[in-house]
Each structure stands twice: as structure tokens, then as C-alpha cells.
A and B are shown apart, each in its own frame.
Chain A
Amino acid sequence: MTEAHPPGATVAPAPRAQRQTERVADNRRTARLRPETITAVCVFGISILLVLGSRFVSPALGSWDHVNTIILLASFLIVVAFGQGIVIMIGGLDLSVPALITLGGVLTTSWIDASSGMSLPLIPAILLICACIGGISGLGVTLLRIPPFIMTMATGIITASAALGLTSGTPRGAAPPILTALMKASWIGIPVILLFILAFAILGSVLQGRTSYGRRLTAIGANPVAAHVAGIAVRSSVLIAYMLSAAASGFAGMMLAGYANGATLRMGDDYLLPSIAAVVIGGSSILGGSGSFVATIGGAILLTALSTVISALGIPQGWRTVIEGSIILIALLLLRENTFAFLRRRLAR
């Protein structure tokens, strides 16, 4: 208030007359409780309960080994969902995910097979290629104003076709040792992949929540018009988001190649819908502008934990899929805005 009232001003300070119009204001603690936080806690909570509860299903489940298996199987999805989450955050959708996973895997096995000595520098090279393909999607969306849905579909079809042509229909080769180690080795008794996912989770959440770039992405997703008016470089931010997503998919492809010690042309097909599902279960709005990577990871883990438990139960694939779909639906219904409003009102009392 020191600067607001220099001697020249003739206006009296505003009385606090606006109280009645501000009844929305509840107390600070509950207002700080963001929906993302609630969702993340819920999704992780359900996952943990599920794993603990699975002990009753089979003695092999609910153990530390089971947890490790879940993390291992979920790791691909987590990496893919990171990219998908960023694109969804800005109000887009990345349908090129399967093609880029395949491309990442195919390039890894075919190139590194040819020059096994150069595996380390080749990994960033492959990621760069994937990022460039994502860049094409980004350019189509920003410069040509093609809807993300169509643009990423087109780059997906093109990339898949290129991967097919590149391998003449049959991918050859094996994964480099470094990737096999990432997926299968342990370090002082802890699986490397667990450490990797932990590091990835921290880096991903910091990028989304604690960097100015992440802040810009949220703003663009929340209101692209306002973002432009507020002076944000919308185009370059969006472009980078698609590049990141493509690189993440490419890396998931490498991880899959390392895990299976080979690549197939259909290896990415099973990740498109789960990647969207994980983001949605994690509470992100499909329209963009909200969401947290931690909750998305929770979504990925929940989906994976569920499928391990269901397959242990001996339920056929069909019902498993039905249950998955129902869980997405329930999550959507619970995550509507009024649920949070209700929770907050309750907590505010």
C-alpha cells in the first residue's frame, strides 16, 4: 500500500465493501488442496490397496516381487504417458504414439545390431529422430492449424509406414546391452528400472510443475487465447511439447526392445489407448490445462496392477478389458468438477 497512494492521488482507499460478493473464498488450507493432489493420493491409494488385497487372491501376489513386476511392466506406459500427458495438457492428443514406439524399437535393434560398438551415441541420435517426427506434428498443428487429432494420426500413419519399409516387413537384430541392463539388471539388490522410473518421475514432475516451461504449458492448455495475449510464445511451446512426446514414445520403444531383446512392427499398438487412459485416470482434463505427472504415473500403475491381478485371477482377457473400461468410466465420473467442490466444502467445515 506504500506505493499505491502517492500524494497526488485523491481517491480514498477502497473500503472492504465487496465482502458479500466474495463468499466463495473458503479458508486457505482447503483452497490450496488442489484437485491434482487429491487425485494423485486417491489413485496411489487404490493401487496400494489393490496390491495388498491381491495377497488374498494368490500367495504369489502382493509381494515385493509383485511390486517390482508391476513397476517393470508399467515403466513403458509411464514413459509414454509422460509425453501423452504433456500433449493432453496443451489441449491436444497424440495418436502417433504407437508408430513412434515401433520406430524407436526398430531403429534400436536394426542400427545397433549393425554397429554394436556405438550404442551409447546412437541412443540420443534415435531420440532426436523421433523428436523431429514429433516436430512435424507440432508444425502441422501450429503453422498449418491442422487439428492435433488428424495431424498426429497422419504422422503416425506415415511413421508406421516408414518403419515398415525400413525393415522390409521383418525387424531384425537385438537390443544393445545397455538397454537390456536397464530393463533387467539390479544394483545393490534394487532393480535398475525401479531407480530409473523414480528418477524419471522426479524429472517429469519438476518439468511439468516447477519449470517456467511447464507453467507455460499449463497456461496454454487452460486458455490458449489468453496465453497468446499474455505474451507467451505459444507456437514454440506447443512444438516442443510434441517433440517431447515423440521422444518419450521413442524411448519407450527402446525400453521395450531392451525388455524383449528385439523389436516387432506392432509393438506400439497396445500403448495408445492405455496412455490416454492413464492420463485420464490421473485426473487430467482431456481438454487440457490441468493434471500432474505424479497422478498420471498413479494411473499407469493402477492400470498395470489391475491387469496383473486380474490375469492372476484367471479372468479371461475379455472381462479384463471390460473391467479396465469400467474403471476409466468410474474415474471420469468421480473426477468431475463437482466432486471436488463437494470434497472441498466438506473439508472446509
Chain B
Amino acid sequence: MSVSPPRLQAVAVTKSYGATTALENVSLDLAAGEVHAVLGENGAGKSTLVKILSGVIAPNSGQMRLDGAVYAPHSILHARQAGVATAFQELSLAPNLTVAEALLLPAMKRGAFGLVSPYQTARAAAEILHRYRLDDVSPIAGIASLSLAHRQRLEIARAMHYAEKVLILDEPTAALTDVEWLFDLVRSTTAAGTAVLYISHRLAEVRTLCKQATVLRNGRSVASVGLSDASDADIFELMVGRTEMAHGRRTHSFARETRSALELNNVTGAKLKGVTLDVKEGEIVGIAALEGQGQRELFRTLVGLDKATSGQILVGGKPVQPKSPRHAIAAGLSFLPEERKVEGIFSTLSTAANIVLPVIQNISRTGFVWPALERHSAARASEGVELNPRYLDFRIADLSGGNQQKALLARAMFTGARTLLLYDPTRGVDVGTKQAIYAAIQAFADRGGSVLLYSSELTELTRLADRCLVLYGARIFEQFTGEAIEERALVAALTGHSRDPAKSKREAAA
């Protein structure tokens, strides 16, 4: 056994899309029974690596070996047959299937005449569900009727069912409420000799499960580290490429007595259970929440994408009922949406046109657009977010994700709104862009604007927010101000509802 080759080995794997290199010379060794972490920021190449290992895409160069034999999967199915299965981050369950179909696709159980038998399929699925302790899911339930957490469990269970040799888990806890369920199953999987590749950006989780981690940065493998020897700061440095990023808390330049720019009184509806909060002029209010605690609905309600059933929204002291984003903009609320590709960019338009679009009527004369004026306005808007003006003439689809995000932030600011609603503004962008976005947000607040900021990264909140509210169960659960905004306290509040609410309250008061 001592000379047995690693279960999965990747050597110098490279993948590029056109001129963009997503993954460059990445190598990886995975021993049988090992849980190996892949760490990296959003956009570091983790997903590309997952897709290559699971057979979704083929690498441009490099080699992979499974138990010493050449492993070059040309499809998911091919990888699955070789014993490699993946639970994808974007959940590969079509909404119009039943649980049983989703679990067994594409090879469902057959009955008479070689035809698919729904009954046999459901029975086989019930066994799988039972084995992975998902007895509360009916095999004939529709995927669409399941909660996000259940869908994620199903995705994981399916991967475990097929993973004889290697199990790849891509951000498996993004929507999971019960992490212990996953940990137990991962442990029993590895006990059977399966190697697990665990992709996550949650260091705490990684530390409980893994001993060894590969760190990716900008598509390259920067280090393979033993997790017991490395401190959080060490790993963080490897991930972002420079040590100091987390410190430098915002200085509180605004006066406490300023007026409220945005006030919510007991806003209910669209899943929200009575949210009360206010954002002062010149203040950055952070929202911290685990997945699915109502943060999405909160932002969507504020811009009229979801409807509030009761409660009051005041903008600058005046009550408003946002019916659509257009009304919200008119009222002075500008929204940076969550999904850049789906809700943000217009891929066929130039960057300049993308930036000025919401207020195109303001920069057009009697309905006509003057390109020079448009470009000039866009150039002015892009200064604030450090977007290089040479990109303004490009189609926005040709820009990197970071520059697209800068353009969208420029768009949000260019509407002239006094209040920005930023939903995870640094999702999937590189470090340089992050810095620029932070600077732009702070400058906006320093000029007297107000910001409501949700972020999935707590460091972002500890660094930017003047006040931080924790959303739990679709209502405001905790509030931290100034120096009390501290990562450990936030984590406790995010998850601490059931553990020890009294303790987190005391911390908040301190």
C-alpha cells in the first residue's frame, strides 16, 4: 500500500477561454480517504477546476490520473462511471423533475419491456434517500416544491451515491442549514476510502474537515498547505496575495445626529417578518446574514421588485411605496443587484451605454442620444469607481467581471440617488477591484450619501460598516455599532440564535 499512487492526481492543468486564462498549471494530489480543501477567493479558478475534474469541460493542457490510470473524462457521465461525482454549487436539479428522477438521471430503473418504471425508480430513490438520512424527502415530490436547503442536500446525496473513488463538493454549505449532517456523511465516505475534494471559502468548515489545502489565486495554485501549521492569517495572505486587507476600519466621519435617509418601520411581506431599520445620511449600514434569512427580499422590497404587505418605508422622511425599480430611482434609491449577469449587464451594449442607461433621458436632448455627451457622462461616472475610461467604448461583455462590477456601481451612483442599496457588491471580483469598490463606497458616504450594504463576506462589513445589523429569520436580530462590529461577534449572532442568544446580546451591548 505504501507505493500506491494517489487516488486523483492532476498535473499542470490549464484552461483558457479565448484570451482569458481561467486556470494555469494547477497540480493537485488527492490520497484515498483524504479530505482535501481547495481555497481561494471568488474567481480564483475553483469552479473551473471543479468543472475540469468532473468532466464538464476539458482542459487545454495538462493531465489527470485516477488511481494511476489516465483520467480524461469527456462528460459528467463518463466521470461518474470512472467513480468521480460532483455536487455542484449551482445545483444541477431541474425544477420539473421528481426527487427520484433527479437522483437517478440519466439511468433510471427500468421495468417491463425495458421501459422506465416510475415505481422502481422511486423505490431505488427511497433507498438512496434513506442511506443519506434524507428520510423527510418524498421520492415522488417535485424538485420545485423543495426548499433550497433540501435541494442542496439532494445534490450532495446524489454525488455521494455515485462517488466511488472521488467526491467533489463545490461550496456544499452555501444553502445548508445543518452542517453536521454533511460532516458526518463526509466522514463516513472517507472511511470507505473515497477521496473528497472540498471547495469552500469558509475557513472554519475547512479546518474541521481537512488536513491539507490547495490555495488558488488568479487561476494559479499558489500553495499546498497543511492546515494545522497555517494560521488563518497565513492562509488569508495566500488567498488574497497580500497580508493587510482586513484592517483599516472606516473612520467615522459622519455626525450621529444627521437625519435618516432611509427608514423602515415594521416592513412585512415577501417573507419579511417586520423589519425595522434606519440609515442616516453619510452612514454605511451593513447587513449580515446567512443564506436565505430574508436579505434578498429586503433589498428587493426596497426597490419594488417584491411587494411589502404592511409597514412603512420612508426615504428622506417622506413615505414611499416603491412599485418598481423606476419608482425607487425616482425616490432616490439606487440598487446594485446580486447577479451581475442576470440582473445587471446588457451584454450587447457598450460600457458607456450601460452606465448611463437608467437616466438616459437626463443626458439626451429631446429624446436623442448624443454619443459624445453619453461618453462624457459615463467617463465622469467611471472616475469615482476607478474604471479605466478606455473601456467605455467596449461592449461590456468584453470586460472582466471586476470591471463589469465597477461599471454597475458607477451606474448605481450615476442615477444621482442619495441612498445606495448594494447587494454583495464584491461578489466574484478580484482584490484590486475590491479595493476600488470599497473606496468608492466610502467616498460616497463621506460626501453625505447613505449606503445599505449586504455582504456575504464578514470582513467587508467589519471594515466598511458604521453600523451592522444581523438579519436572522427575516427580521433584524442584532445590532452592532462601531468597534463592536467584530467578526467573531457577528458569526455568533448569525448562527447564535439557537445556541446562546443572551451571550450575543451581551456582546452587542459591550
Interface-facing stretch out of A181-189, A229-237, A252-260? A229-237
A288-300 vs B, Cβ < 8 Å mask (1 yes, 0 no)? 0110000000000
Q: Mark B346-365, 1 if CB is under 8 A from A, else 0.
A: 11110001000110110010
* Contact between B442 and A210, CB atoms less than 8 A apart: no
In the bound complex, do residue B325 and residue A21 qualify as a contact, i.e. CB atoms below 8 Å apart?
no
Q: Could you list some 30 contacts between A and B, CB below 8 A?
A: A3-B384, A4-B439, A4-B443, A5-B439, A8-B442, A14-B433, A14-B436, A16-B432, A20-B21, A24-B19, A28-B394, A31-B394, A31-B398, A211-B364, A211-B367, A211-B368, A211-B369, A212-B364, A212-B367, A215-B357, A216-B357, A216-B360, A222-B347, A223-B342, A223-B346, A226-B342, A226-B345, A229-B305, A229-B343, A230-B411
Docked-complex contact B344 and A226, CB < 8 angstroms? yes
Q: How many residue-residue contacts, CB under 8 A, span A and B?
A: 176
A215 and B433 form a contact (CB under 8 A): no
Q: Which residues of A contact B99 (CB under 8 A)?
A: none
- A: contact size bracket: 35 or more
Task: Write the nearest CB–CB distance from A213 to chain B, whole angstroms.
Answer: 7
CB atoms of A341 and B347 under 8 A apart = no
Give the distance in Å from the alpha carbon of A346 to the alpha carbon of B464 in the complex.
Answer: 45
Q: Which residue of A lies closest to B431 (CB)?
A: A17
Q: Shortest Cβ distance from A231 into chain B, in angstroms?
A: 4
Contact A28 B393 (CB under 8 A): yes
Q: In the complex, which residues of chain A have a beta carbon less than 8 angstroms from the beta carbon of B411? A: 230
Task: Decide yes or no whether A10 CB sits under 8 A from chain B.
Answer: yes
User: Do residues A5 and B358 form an inter-chain contact, with CB atoms below 8 A?
Assistant: no
Indicate if B268 sits at the interface (CB-CB under 8 A).
no
A322: Cβ under 8 A from any B Cβ: no
Task: Tell me, in angstroms, the Cα distance from A225 to B337 when the chains sit together.
Answer: 11
A8-B253, A9-B443, A229-B344 known; A14 vs B432 contact (CB < 8 Å): yes
Instruction: Please report the C-alpha to C-alpha distance between residue A58 and residue B432 in the assembled complex, in whole angstroms.
Output: 66
Q: Give the docked Cα–Cα distance between A6 and B218 (Å).
A: 31
Asked if B440 is at the interface of the complex by the 8 Å CB criterion, the answer is yes
Q: For window 6-27 of chain A, which residues contact chain B by CB distance below 8 Å?
A: 6, 8-18, 20-26
B411 CB to nearest A CB, Å: 7
> B324 contacts the other chain (Cβ, under 8 Å)?
yes
How big is the B interface, by class? Answer: 35 or more
Q: How far is the CA of A228 from the CA of B439 in the complex (A)?
A: 28
**Closest CB-CB distance, A21 to chain B, in whole Å?**
5
A226 close to B402 (CB less than 8 A): no
Q: Report B398 CB to chain A, min CB distance, Å.
A: 6
Chain A positions within 8 Å of B, measured between CB atoms, are 1-6, 8-18, 20-26, 28, 31-32, 34, 206, 210-216, 218-219, 221-223, 225-233, 285, 289-290, 341
Which 9 pairs, one residue from A and one from B, show the smallest C-beta to C-beta distance? A222-B346, A18-B432, A14-B435, A231-B326, A8-B253, A212-B360, A231-B329, A14-B436, A290-B348
Instruction: Evaluate contact between B402 and A18: CB separation under 8 angstroms.
Output: yes
Instruction: Find A24's partner among B361, B399, B430 (CB 8 Å cutoff).
Output: B399
Report A-chain residues with C-beta under 8 Å of the C-beta of B329: 231
Q: Which residue of A lies closest to B438 (CB)?
A: A11
Closest to B464 in A: A11
Given A21-B402, A22-B399; 12 other pairs, CB 8 A cutoff: A9-B443, A11-B248, A15-B432, A18-B433, A24-B399, A25-B399, A32-B393, A212-B361, A212-B367, A215-B349, A222-B349, A228-B324
Residues of B within 8 A of A (CB): 18-21, 43, 218, 241, 248-251, 253, 303, 305, 324-326, 328-329, 335, 337, 342-349, 353, 357-358, 360-361, 364, 367-369, 371, 383-386, 390-391, 393-395, 398-400, 402-403, 411, 415, 430-433, 435-436, 438-440, 442-443, 446-447
Q: CB < 8 Å: which of B353, B386, B415, B442 contacts A215?
A: B353
Given the complex of chains A and B, what is the CA–CA distance between A16 and B386 in angstroms? 10
Known: A11-B442, A12-B435, A219-B357. A231 touches B349 (CB 8 A): no
B249 smallest CB distance to A (angstroms): 8
Task: Find chain B residues with CB under 8 A from A219 CB.
Answer: 346, 349, 353, 357
Contact B446 A23 (CB under 8 A): no
Report whether A218 and B369 are in contact in the complex, using a CB–CB cutoff of 8 Å.
no
Contact B347 A206 (CB under 8 A): no
Q: A10 to chain B: which residues have CB within 8 Å?
A: 248-251
Contact status of A232 and B357, CB under 8 A, knowing A6-B446, A8-B446, A222-B349 = yes
- Contact check, A22 vs B442: say whether CB atoms are below 8 A apart: no
CB contacts (< 8 Å) of B345 on chain A: these are 223, 226
**A26 to B398 alpha-carbon distance, docked (Å):** 9
